[in-house]
Structure 1
Amino acid sequence: MAYVGYEYVRSSLALPIFEVRRPALVKPVTRIMSSAEALGVPASLAPADGDFVAHLLFALKHEGVNLQVLASASQHLAASDLAAALAATPNGQYVRMLCSAWEHFTGNQVVAQPVITAGYVDLFDEGRYYTGGTDRDSRWRVNFNGLGTWDYCVTVERTPAIRDGLDFDVLGATRDFAASLNSELLDRTLTWAYLHETQDSYAIEKEAPSEDKARTFIHLLRQAHKPRTLDEAYLVELQASIVSNPYNQAVQYRTEQNWLSDGGRGALGVTFVPPRPDDLPALMDAWSRFANDTAKHLDPLMAASIASFGFVYLHPFMDGNGRLSRFLFHKVLCQSGQLPDGMLLPVSVAMKRHEAQYLSVLQDFSRPARALVNARAAGEGDFEFTFKCDDTIFRFWDATRCVEFGLSMAREALEVELRNETNFIVHFDAVRKQIDDQYDLRGSTLATLVSIALNNGGAISNKKRKRYADEVAPQIFDAIERKAREVLTDALDESDGATDDTDRDGVPR
């Protein structure tokens, strides 16, 4: 079946960009039919072969906005072809969108002075996409309302998952959660959150931080609420603080090519090649403008997700990019001012729990990007890379799955990680207090056994009993188990009978 619209233009012109995820295809249908995999188009409605302007106008009308294709294809379109389409429908909204995009991407003019009498039109349909502020193009009466600018813009579609995630209002629920706890319980919960956020952010990179590394990263997380502009100087400062090897500490954005590998032999083991060093300064400037400016006008969790994934796709340093990207999720979130000072959503803990899904979201970008770079082994552990693409793929990308994932992980960080830890602390205190009132037992031993019982459904194994037999009498083991089972059963009963005033895990709202 023949392609139509964006994928026709991409494949016919051999544009070095990503394949269209849901292409338009000529199919034996009587009207345009949409499915999860493709857009079915009757042959009678398909533009003529070779008429790239007509295919792009069709795409803008029926497929939405794909800035990767528009930016790359603009270099192959003649102003005269656009002018002819404009003459045919001088006030047509899609031809005006295409002319506006072409002029921005080429720096040239379609005509000296277009005569437009129709009203302004939005480039991005607000019913299909989440949109940003408006930048008016008065020549074509087109509002650029994307999430970014003509230099750097992501698209986020209005999917059910994102709508539900935003409607839940994770940040509002987090504020309510924090307000429901006394200061001591909140401090103990957050102490756990900061430590485990650090440990799991490293664990995602297959590392275990030393005590000094963990302390440094926790310090960074605690500083996330302090206002700082995300520019090269600050990012270099962050990278140098989390990378302990002085040979890998940056003083500027990287000036050499980096890549990721799955450990396989030769070029086939290379899984992702970030942009060329020469392209990086301009790309990072564009990313910084998004993170510092555009992000202020978006939902904070949406902005944090986009900034975090956008950063790791650019990989501006030779080391530490993954941990920095997850720190930047917190930084952008905290800069919104919608979380209490010191509050932390341990999203890396949730990401580690869903690591396969995290990798899948990353691969949505890394795999098609890898296909646009040729790698050749150039000695042991080194490669030469030939890019078939320019920096367009790094400037314009689909962030829909990134936002879906970010919203899901933030909700789980609250609903599972923080609430479960709070419950554990409450249960731990109840068991420890009763046993401590009844028996004389070393504090560290009591704390260990209470934790074991709570984490094991109220049981202490025979192996653990033997280990502590010299200092703990059998009746104390039994007492710990009884009390642990009691508090766990009570919590389950409260959860089953939860009302509007109590969450499902028994923590008051």
Structure 2
Amino acid sequence: MTERADVLLVPPAVAPDGDDPLTHLLFAFKHEGMNLQAAILALKKIPAQSVALAFQRSPSSGYARVACYLWEIANGQRLGDLPPAVGAYEKLFDDASYVTDRVQRDTRWRVDFNGIGSPTYCITVRRTPDVVAMLDADVLGQVDKFVSGIDKAVLDRAVRWAYLSETDNSYAIEREKPSASKAEAFASLLSRAHDAEVISEAYLVALQNLAVSNPLDRADGFRDEQNRLRNEMRGALGVTYLPPSPELLRPVMDAVMALCNDRDSKVNALVRGSLASFAFVFAHPFMDGNGRLSRFLFHKVACADPRLANGLVLPVSVAMKRNEREYLAALQSFSKPSRAFWDVTFISDDQIYQDFRGQPEIYRYWDATACVEFGLRMADEALQRDLRQELDFLHRFDLVYHAINDAVDMNNNDLVLVARTIAETGELSNNRTKQLIAKGHHPDLIRTAVDAALGALTDMDDV
């Protein structure tokens, strides 16, 4: 057999004989890993007697036992009059090929469910080279080591910067600029990411009310109408995504909240944060504010890891704003295929009808590999680029500020502006110099201030 990027080439001599669906499914279990959505959907169409017969032929076969286990989940029925299963317990997901969680053991079929979530809502994350490399990089371990040597007062300033930058960029991703009061409220919300408060519908409603700008968009519960995302195009093609219908939403959101609240999970906290964020936005439980809340949930889940201490959050939205095309691609890894299961009829801008022709399983069993790859990259970039740069800036600013303050007598407001400009750019622009002179500062005083600042930076670079 030859494995390529998106296909497994099987020689005729190895391929299953005939067109029996169960035979092909068992072959896929053996050679292609576990595509849980495909397996569940296939088993909904396979008769009980076919699965039972395969098990009776070989009660110790791990693949036959997995088929029986998943058949009962898919159909909500119990297979009866069968001998006891025997053999070693079979893991549903291969630990070497997938990111797995703690085992939930099924003694009837001797199957260990080790997926992320539960047997009725499970997210798959494949161990691609990018996922493995990012997990091996141990971003949270790097954060812990990095901040351990930083003065607490400086770290507190970096934390405040992270809150404000995360707020600005989370809104900017959606092409919004929050009012000062709204930005302050959302920044305050980020400080609650470290709280141990359990995520519930009431909790999320309260956060949604803080996150949206228009009072008319504030929710009092999860939506009870169909939501949709649209782009600038007219007609049905302008509808880019339809989340689960209201009747499907509740079980999906119950599972998403359970995922967020699972502090006993053995899955890496940044992986879980990525999953919580994307799972929430795909569920789209509110009519507005879902994107901002999804990015907050990344922090809420990731901050359960003790290595993100001292109130610190990684400014992932800053990195996401810088990589919007990749963010869209991660979102579309789910939204595009799911959109194909909806028939949309466009009557007018205010009259759009949609009919779901798919199965609920597309919202309950999905592959989040692309989402996790993106989330891990953004966390790493937020550390390596944004957080490190900000702390370097704070160090430069403090040196420049004290050097200028020791050299000249300048009011605090102008002193901060000069110090910030030189710390950021390494110089004081002609325009800023003219502004200071217009305020009454003597050119000699300005030159002395600049010389002191540049001298401090040179001394720092020489160390």
1:215 and 2:184 matched: yes
Contact 1:57 1:94 (8 Å CA) reproduced: yes
What is the SS of the residue equivalent to 2:220? coil
State the Cα deviation string for residues 408-462 of structure 1 (Å, max 9, x = none). 2222222221221111111112112222222222322232233223333x23333
Pairwise CA distance, 1:335 = 2.9
The 1-side partners of 2:9 and 2:443 are apart by: 72
The 1-side partners of 2:418 and 2:190 are apart by: 31
Find the partner of 1:345 among 310, 314, 334.
Answer: 314
What's the Cα RMSD here? 2.0
The 2-side partners of 1:491 and 1:373 are apart by: 61
What is the SS of the residue equivalent to 2:207? helix
Runs (5+) with no aligned partner, structure 2: none
State the Cα deviation string for residues 132-184 of structure 1 (Å, max 9, x = none). 12222222211111111111111111223222222232223223333212222
Give 2:363's aligned residue: 394
Give 1:432's aligned residue: 401
Find the partner of 2:116 among 147, 150, 163.
Answer: 147
Give 1:12's aligned residue: none
Pairwise CA distance, 1:69 = 0.8
TM-score under structure 2 length normalisation? 0.94
Give 2:428's aligned residue: 460
Find the partner of 2:420 among 416, 440, 451.
Answer: 451
Runs (5+) with no aligned partner, structure 1: 1-31, 495-509
Find the partner of 1:298 among 267, 271, 279.
Answer: 267
Pairwise CA distance, 1:475 = 4.3
Letter in structure 2 aligned against 1:40: L
Give 1:469's aligned residue: 437
What is the SS of the residue equivalent to 2:13? helix
Find the partner of 2:65 among 96, 101, 114.
Answer: 96
Find the partner of 2:340 among 364, 368, 371.
Answer: 371
Find the partner of 1:269 among 211, 215, 238.
Answer: 238
Over 3 Å counting, the alpha-carbon distance change for 1:37 and 1:441 in structure 2 is: same
The 2-side partners of 1:135 and 1:407 are apart by: 26
TM-score under structure 1 length normalisation? 0.86
What is the SS of the residue equivalent to 1:290? helix
1:253 and 2:197 matched: no
1:237 and 2:206 matched: yes
Contact 2:102 2:265 (8 Å CA) reproduced: no
1:422 and 2:391 matched: yes
Find the partner of 1:51 among 7, 13, 20.
Answer: 20
Give 1:205's aligned residue: 174
Over 3 Å counting, the alpha-carbon distance change for 1:394 and 1:492 in structure 2 is: farther
Contact 2:403 2:453 (8 Å CA) reproduced: no
Pairwise CA distance, 1:46 = 2.3
Letter in structure 1 aligned against 2:215: P
The 2-side partners of 1:57 and 1:294 are apart by: 34
Over 3 Å counting, the alpha-carbon distance change for 1:411 and 1:484 in structure 2 is: farther
Residues 57-76 of structure 1: pairs in structure 2 closer than 5 A: 57-76=26-45
The 2-side partners of 1:228 and 1:177 are apart by: 27
What is the SS of the residue equivalent to 1:124? coil
What is the SS of the residue equivalent to 2:105? strand
The 2-side partners of 1:329 and 1:355 are apart by: 17
What is the SS of the residue equivalent to 2:349? coil
Give 1:9's aligned residue: none
The 1-side partners of 2:188 and 2:334 are apart by: 31
Contact 1:113 1:139 (8 Å CA) reproduced: no
Give 2:301's aligned residue: 332
The 2-side partners of 1:247 and 1:452 are apart by: 41
**Greater Cα shift, 412-421 or 308-317:** 412-421
Letter in structure 1 aligned against 2:251: A
1:380 and 2:349 matched: yes
Letter in structure 1 aligned against 2:256: W
Contact 1:156 1:400 (8 Å CA) reproduced: yes
Letter in structure 1 aligned against 2:210: S
The 2-side partners of 1:491 and 1:313 are apart by: 48
Over 3 Å counting, the alpha-carbon distance change for 1:482 and 1:60 in structure 2 is: farther
State the Cα deviation string for residues 40-61 of structure 1 (Å, max 9, x = none). 1112222245310011011111
Contact 2:56 2:83 (8 Å CA) reproduced: no
Pairwise CA distance, 1:486 = 4.9
Give 1:80's aligned residue: 49
* Count of residues in correspondence between the two structures: 462
The 2-side partners of 1:182 and 1:407 are apart by: 27
Contact 2:407 2:449 (8 Å CA) reproduced: no
What is the SS of the residue equivalent to 1:77? coil
State the Cα deviation string for residues 48-100 of structure 1 (Å, max 9, x = none). 45310011011111111111111111221011222332344332221211111
The 2-side partners of 1:311 and 1:295 are apart by: 20
Over 3 Å counting, the alpha-carbon distance change for 1:115 and 1:184 in structure 2 is: closer
Over 3 Å counting, the alpha-carbon distance change for 1:42 and 1:246 in structure 2 is: same
Pairwise CA distance, 1:309 = 0.6
The 1-side partners of 2:402 and 2:437 are apart by: 21
Q: Percent of pairs identical after alignment?
A: 44
Contact 1:431 1:480 (8 Å CA) reproduced: no
The 1-side partners of 2:298 and 2:337 are apart by: 24
What is the SS of the residue equivalent to 1:143? strand
Letter in structure 2 aligned against 1:328: L
Letter in structure 2 aligned against 1:89: S
Contact 2:408 2:448 (8 Å CA) reproduced: no
Contact 2:275 2:371 (8 Å CA) reproduced: yes
Letter in structure 2 aligned against 1:156: V
The 2-side partners of 1:137 and 1:420 are apart by: 50
